[in-house]
Structure formats: C-alpha cells, structure tokens
Amino acid sequence: MGLCHGKEINSTPIQEENSVVPYNERSIQNAETPKLQKLPFYISSPFQISYKNSPSTPLRIFKRPFPPPSPAKHIKAFLARRHASLKPNEDTIPEDDLLLSKNFGFLKDFFAKHDLGDVVGRGHFGYTCSAMVKKGELKGQEVAVKVIPKGKLTTTIAIEDVAREVKILRSLTRHKNLVQFYDAYEDEDNVYIVMELCRGGELLERILSRGGKYSEQDAKFIMVQILSAVAFFHLQGVVHRDLKPENFLFVSKDEKSVIKTIDFGLSDFVNPDERLNDIVGSAYYVAPEVLHRSYGTEADIWSIGVIAYILLCGSRPFWSRTESGIFRAVLKAKPSFEEDPWPSLSPEAIDFIKK
C-alpha cells in the first residue's frame, strides 16, 4: 500500500526543464540476466492504465523544482488487478462484498487512544496524519498514522496487501534505521497503522537541496544506514521491493540525522530458495531480475546501487521519458562512469556501485 509516513506534502509546481541529458543505450554491466526477446509490458506507460492525469516522467538530472515521485506499483496486469480496474472509460466493478472480509482482527479503540492531527502525506490508497497519543506507554508522544479507507479495498489482493504489510511491520522491530511500528487499529470504515513520526523529510529532498550531489563521505554516511536496515530485514526473510530516495526519511532536519526506511506496502516474505515473479516497484529503481520475473532479495541490492549512483553524481543511471523506455534501459544499458564527477571519485566508490 505505497504511502509515505510523516512526509511533508510538497505543493511546488512541476515544470519541465529545457536541458535534458541525452540517453545512450548500451548493455548492462552490473547485472547478468538472460536476453529477453520480447516483454509483455513494452507498451505505453502501464501507470496510465489505472491512473489518469499521471505526472510527466522526471528528467534524468535531479534539480529543483522537485520531480514527481516515482510511482510504486504492481506493473500492468498486477496493477490492474490490485485496483480492480477495467477499460479507462468503464466503472470499476469490485468483487462481491459478501465474499470479501475486511475484518483484520486489529485493535478497535483507535480514537480512545489518539487525537488525529493534520494530513502530512498522501498515497494511492489513503493518507498519513500526525496524531497525539492520549493513553498508554506512548502518552504525550506525536506519532504518524497511516489511514487506509476500507472502501478502497475492493479486491482480495488489496486486502491481503494490508494484512501482509502489518505482519511485516510487526516482524521488523527495534532497528534504528527502520521506521518503528507501534500498533494497528481498525473500525468499520478505516485501518489505522500507527508508526514513528519522522520530521526530517525525504532523502530525495536532501539530494535536491544539495544540488543533486553528495560527497563520498556524506554518501557513505547515508549508505551505511541504508545497508544496515536492508541487511536486517533480509535476514528476517523480507524483501522491500520499492527502495528509492522517497522511501527513506530523516528523523530530524539535522544534517547528521538518523535515516529510516519506510513504506513496506509492496514488501513480501521470501525464503532463501524461493523466487518471486510479480513485477512490482518503481521504474527507475527496478532490477532486471524483477523484469525477468525471477528474483529474491537481490532486487533490493540493485535498487541500493541505483540510489548510490544518484547520491554521488546527481543523475539517474537509467532514464527515458516513458516507463517502457526505462525498462528497456535497465535491461540494455550500461551506466556511464565517464562524465563528471566520476573521474574524480575513488575507485572504491565506483566499484561499490558496479558490484
């Protein structure tokens, strides 16, 4: 259920820049995958299937004004099933409500324990608010509450996604670089997922505020925290499947603030010998193995490499104006390490990304 946790809503208008870095298509070096002759999703952006008025694809270089967020989703057929969507001009026909149980077994007394505050973020399935805890161990503490209207859970898949997200959050506790989960509540209308509130903003915002580049030392400070979190939930048998700068929040505005991994709405449990095959995630960060429908935790490792590339040079390694073009670039392209600032960076930094 891709949704932010304590992210501030940004009303900056989106504008196209005149200068676009040309894209050069070459073969991938940092992942060996079998050659794919024809992919079923090489069509116009599958994001358009379920969402009208989708924002334009961001440019390759990270500059202000802020680019639109990378949409996270099940791509094409999975996306359509998730939202129970039909043809663009037809009404959605939900599954028989008599067959869909929306009782998750969560606590029922949310409003007895919390005062709901302002909306601080929005997503496809709901929104996130700040809230003040009135009772219990967290009394007097401000928290983030992810509110998911049950009316939007019109498919079995959507209902299973909510249950799985809460199950994963319950299993991933007490790591300093993961957003802390407190509890889940429900009433007749909504599900309420109560979590730690992070006020420091997204990693994406920090990248943009720096003009798109981090020094190696500052990038290392970020990457060590990301790797620590990912190693932890991989050991718990969880693959995130949507790692990107938008899904890392800083606890505070301080430059050396702790960073937290958020949004496990597309995550899943995976065994060491198991291969997942559903195509999910955000286009710029999706791994070739995901596009080939055979992957495990290595899907997250690829995304980490993309984030590291962006931190150090301020541009995306794989870019196109359409999602299908991005997928082709991921499968065929070799990221450039020839242009500035790469010649001035250490061999170790470049080697880290290539591996």
Known binding residue 260? Answer is: no
Amino acid (one-letter) located at 211: G
Residues in contact with 70: Cβ distance below 8 Å, sequence separation at least 6, in sequence order:
58, 244, 246, 282, 283, 284, 285
- For the question of residue 242 being annotated catalytic, the response is yes
Residues in contact with 251: Cβ distance below 8 Å, sequence separation at least 6, in sequence order:
198, 199, 200, 257, 258, 259, 260
| C-alpha angle 293-80-298 in degrees, rounded to nearest 5 | 25
Residues in contact with 144: Cβ distance below 8 Å, sequence separation at least 6, in sequence order:
5, 6, 120, 128, 129, 130, 131, 179, 194, 195, 196, 197, 198
E strand or H helix that includes residue 299: helix 298-313
| C-alpha angle 13-17-23 in degrees, rounded to nearest 5 | 130
**Cβ contact 202:245 at 8 Å:** yes
> CA torsion, points 226, 240, 167, 8, in degrees to nearest 10?
70
Amino acid (one-letter) located at 245: P
Closest C-alpha to 62, from 325, 307, 335, 328: 307
Catalytic residue among 183, 242, 263, 268: 242
CA distance 245 to 222: 11
HSE value, Cβ hemisphere, 13 Å, CA-based, for 269: 14
Structure tokens at 176: 């300093």
**Cβ contact 280:242 at 8 Å:** yes
Among all residues, which ones are annotated catalytic?
Answer: 242
Binding-site residues from annotation: 146
Going by the annotation, the residues of the binding site for ATP are 146
